């Protein structure tokens, strides 16, 4: 189903994990710590195969999906999506009955892709609740971070989710947010924990990381940039 107002309007959580997709998660052993939070956010339908569980955990309460992934992974047109529905539902099933957050309203093409995904979920009686964030919220979030020094056309999905989490959670713990290709011990890292695909040029991830460090240093969030005990 799709909700017409925030399902979190009167709900708050003591501890939340926000899981980015950075290569620093590979070999981190952070999975158990991530899953120990009351609520777990994940970004961009990143893979959750069991080979990753030790490092990234396996619980999900809130997952984002980029509308572009609908056409990239499954289908470009409505008719073709019907043929790709089984793969779509199978991929989404690893996140159980989590909330599915899709930015739908900033661009017309995004809206078509997002509504197509929602239609497939509705027709399949999936248990996921779809959240289409209000465009004013998305625009105001982008504007806020631009004013803070993130000089990019728009904030990344990861930064958007961190913003959401700070409004819902007493303690926000971040994992997998690291924009560099080597860790603190100068060990080479892949771009993501699951592949080495290049990031989008529309984001300024290093600017975003500086802001996350500032929030960490002021106690607003806890930014994990090392292996977990």
What does the alpha-carbon distance between residue 30 and residue 7 come to, in Å, rounded to a whole number? 28
Residue 26 has what pLDDT? 96
Residue 152 has what pLDDT? 84
Residue 3: inside a domain: no
pLDDT band, residue 47 (cuts 50/70/90): very high
Hey, is 223 helix, strand or coil?
strand
What does the alpha-carbon distance between residue 208 and residue 217 come to, in Å, rounded to a whole number? 14
Single pTM value for the model? 0.91
| Ramachandran area for residue 187 (φ above 0: left; ψ -120 to 50: alpha; else beta) | beta
Q: Give residue-wise pLDDT tens across range 172-227.
A: 999 999 999 999 999 999 999 999 987 777 789 999 999 999 999 999 999 999 99
**Residue 40 DSSP symbol:** E
pLDDT at residue 70 above 90? no
Residue 101 has what pLDDT? 93
What does the alpha-carbon distance between residue 161 and residue 110 come to, in Å, rounded to a whole number? 18
Residue 99: inside a domain: yes
Residue 54 has what pLDDT? 98
Residue 47: inside a domain: yes
Of residues 158 and 4, more confidence is placed in 158
Residue 110: inside a domain: yes
Q: How far is CA 61 from CA 26, 119, 198, in A?
A: 21, 21, 27
Q: What are phi and psi of 199, to 5 degrees?
A: -75, 165
Q: Give residue-wise pLDDT tens across range 109-129.
A: 577 778 888 888 888 888 999
pLDDT at residue 161 above 60? yes
pLDDT at residue 72 above 70? no
* Structural domain count of the chain: 1
| Ramachandran area for residue 27 (φ above 0: left; ψ -120 to 50: alpha; else beta) | left
Provide the residue count of the chain.
229
What does the alpha-carbon distance between residue 151 and residue 154 come to, in Å, rounded to a whole number? 8
Residue 5: inside a domain: no
CA pseudo-torsion sign 86, 39, 23, 29: negative
Element (H, E) at 101: strand 99-101
Q: Any residues with CB less than 8 A from the CB of 26 and at least 6 apart, and which?
A: 55, 189, 190, 193
Residue 109 has what pLDDT? 59
What does the alpha-carbon distance between residue 182 and residue 190 come to, in Å, rounded to a whole number? 8
Q: Are 61 and 99 in contact (CB under 8 A)?
A: yes
Q: What is the mean pLDDT of residues 87-94?
A: 90
Residue 2: inside a domain: no
Residue 7: inside a domain: no
Q: What is the CATH number of the domain that holds 27?
A: 3.90.1480.20
Q: What percent of the chain is predicted at pLDDT more than 90?
A: 62
pLDDT at residue 41 above 80? yes
CA atoms within 13 A on the CB side of 216: 14
pLDDT band, residue 171 (cuts 50/70/90): very high
Average pLDDT, the chain: 89
Centre a 10 Å sphere on the Cβ of residue 186 and count the other Cβ atoms it contains. Answer: 6
203 tagged catalytic: yes
pLDDT band, residue 53 (cuts 50/70/90): very high
Containing domain of residue 207, as a range?
Answer: 13-223
Residue 25: inside a domain: yes
pLDDT band, residue 67 (cuts 50/70/90): confident
Residue 10 has what pLDDT? 84
Q: What is the mean pLDDT of residues 56-79?
A: 79
Element (H, E) at 158: helix 157-168
Catalytic residue among 118, 142, 192, 203: 203
């Amino acid at each position: 189903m799709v909700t017409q107002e925030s399902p979190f309007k009167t709900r708050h959580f003591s501890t939340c994990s926000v899981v980015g997709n950075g290569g620093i998660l590979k070999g981190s052993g952070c999975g158990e710590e991530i899953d120990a939070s009351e609520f777990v956010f994940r970004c961009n339908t990143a893979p959750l195969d069991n080979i990753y569980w030790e490092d990234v955990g396996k619980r999900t309460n809130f997952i984002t999906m980029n509308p572009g992934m609908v056409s990239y992974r499954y289908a470009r047109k409505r008719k073709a999506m019907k043929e790709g529905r089984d793969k779509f539902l199978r991929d989404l099933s690893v996140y159980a009955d989590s909330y599915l957050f899709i930015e739908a309203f900033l661009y017309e093409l995004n809206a078509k892709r997002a509504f197509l995904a929602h239609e497939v979920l509705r027709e399949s009686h999936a248990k996921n609740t779809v959240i289409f964030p209000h465009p004013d919220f998305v625009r105001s979030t982008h504007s806020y971070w631009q004013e803070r020094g993130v000089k990019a056309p728009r904030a990344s999905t990861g930064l958007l989710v961190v913003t959401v989490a700070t409004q819902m959670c007493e303690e926000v713990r971040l994992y997998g947010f690291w924009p560099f290709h080597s860790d603190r011990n100068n060990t080479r890292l892949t771009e993501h924990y699951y592949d080495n695909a290049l990031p989008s040029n529309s984001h300024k991830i290093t600017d975003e990381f500086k802001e996350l460090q500032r929030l960490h240093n002021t106690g607003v969030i806890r930014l994990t940039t090392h292996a977990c005990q």
